[in-house]
Structure 1
């Protein structure tokens, strides 16, 4: 994390230099809010390429009543293998007259879309879905979804000890790509330090493991867990017809992953 120093009451700015430091945006956001509360005239989170790269979003809610737009409940229907899963990226591609390409990845992580409509198996399922949709106020409130194709991790390296740090973010790696896990299933997290399992830890909201004792410098901290994906309904309108359902036509119920952390 880098910052631009300033005098008291003057503008202050922070930014994240590298993609592997994306988790620091949350700390930067908290620091910026604290600076504003102390009377700093302006705070800046920059620059745009880093913000776009890491998918960071900030909503200015100072002066507004805090609202938790996420219900920590699991989607109530079993998806099965019929569900459609579509991870996506945002890549800008510039093609020259000679056919050469320049590509710029706008997101450091994939954002997954789902269609859970094909998993509806009965009229009772439709009733459960409609009630759940109303309770979430359409797209307004997020919830947990168990991805039938990707819901567990084992032996993931979540950090390396320095003798001081005790708090490590849960992640899952796909080759060189790293995915932040913010909704682990309660009771599923296991932790090891240099390959030795330990129970001396707690799990904080947002997918953070906090060890009772800081690991020694160079000690590798690994974790295994089951996790859910934070999602919301992609639309504020849900259309499910009994006639088409009885005719064997699958309804479309699109969901979209919610970025957290």
Structure 2
């Protein structure tokens, strides 16, 4: 399988339904208590691409995209409109949005992550598919600049600074990102008459591990 660095049409993904899925294994004990565990370190996202279709032209664009990916064979980028920035959706990314690491005086490369925080608990989600030219970064609370102080691999989410980050310095980033996905079906079944009558085909899309 190859991954195509192309984004699913954003006007079609805008109306899609979907979000993160977790897998939790629950064992009920004889005492009535439960033991809960998960084999997944990270959530996996699912979407329905069919929900964003509003016209026959949209349907045609979807079929063209589906055929170019050979169904489930090739992955692609997907914009999750509810979660595609390092900040809240109503704001623009800033260099201090997410702390990704602390400098040790030797390393220059770091994985970009997004932190989900609730109370005293948090989850760090690795982000691979960065939107080109969207990254802002800071070291020790001071903004540094793309092309001069750092470079970003938009396919892997690795940020590389031109010199080692000083010991203890906070590394922060702001960015926009896509979700790596593939179609979760090799078949699109749609009737034009039914579509015009308001019946929307189901086109499942699922996140892929990289």
TM-score (ref. length: structure 2): 0.88
Q: Is the 8 A contact 2:98 2:174 kept in 1?
A: yes
Q: Is the 8 A contact 1:188 1:225 kept in 2?
A: yes
SS of 2:66 mapped into structure 1: helix
Unmatched 5+ residue regions in structure 1?
1-67
- Indicate the residue corresponding to 1:203 in structure 2: 152
Deviations, residues 188-241 of structure 1 (Å, cap 9, x unaligned): 001000110001100123000000011110000000000000000001111222
State yes or no: 1:219 paired with 2:165.
no
Shift in Å, 1:158: 1.2
Larger radius of gyration: 1
Q: Is the 8 A contact 2:10 2:79 kept in 1?
A: no
- Indicate the residue corresponding to 2:192 in structure 1: 242
Alpha-carbon distance between aligned partners in 2 of 1:216 and 1:79, rounded to the nearest angstrom: 44
Match 1:178 to one of 119, 124, 130: 124
Q: Is the 8 A contact 1:126 1:240 kept in 2?
A: no
Select the structure that is richer in helix: 1
Alpha-carbon distance between aligned partners in 1 of 2:13 and 2:157, rounded to the nearest angstrom: 26
Alpha-carbon distance between aligned partners in 2 of 1:156 and 1:174, rounded to the nearest angstrom: 10
- Indicate the residue corresponding to 1:129 in structure 2: 62
Deviations, residues 16-54 of structure 1 (Å, cap 9, x unaligned): xxxxxxxxxxxxxxxxxxxxxxxxxxxxxxxxxxxxxxx
Match 1:194 to one of 140, 145, 148: 140
Alpha-carbon distance between aligned partners in 1 of 2:78 and 2:190, rounded to the nearest angstrom: 20
Shift in Å, 1:81: 5.1
Q: How does 1:163-174 map to 2 (within 5 A)?
A: 163-174=105-116
- Indicate the residue corresponding to 2:92 in structure 1: none
Does 1 or 2 have the higher relative contact order (CA < 8 Å, sep 6+)? 2
State yes or no: 1:104 paired with 2:37.
yes
SS of 2:59 mapped into structure 1: helix
- Indicate the residue corresponding to 1:21 in structure 2: none
Alpha-carbon distance between aligned partners in 2 of 1:132 and 1:227, rounded to the nearest angstrom: 20
State yes or no: 1:156 paired with 2:98.
yes
Alpha-carbon distance between aligned partners in 2 of 1:241 and 1:228, rounded to the nearest angstrom: 31
Deviations, residues 104-138 of structure 1 (Å, cap 9, x unaligned): 11111110000021110110111111111111010
Match 1:117 to one of 36, 40, 50: 50
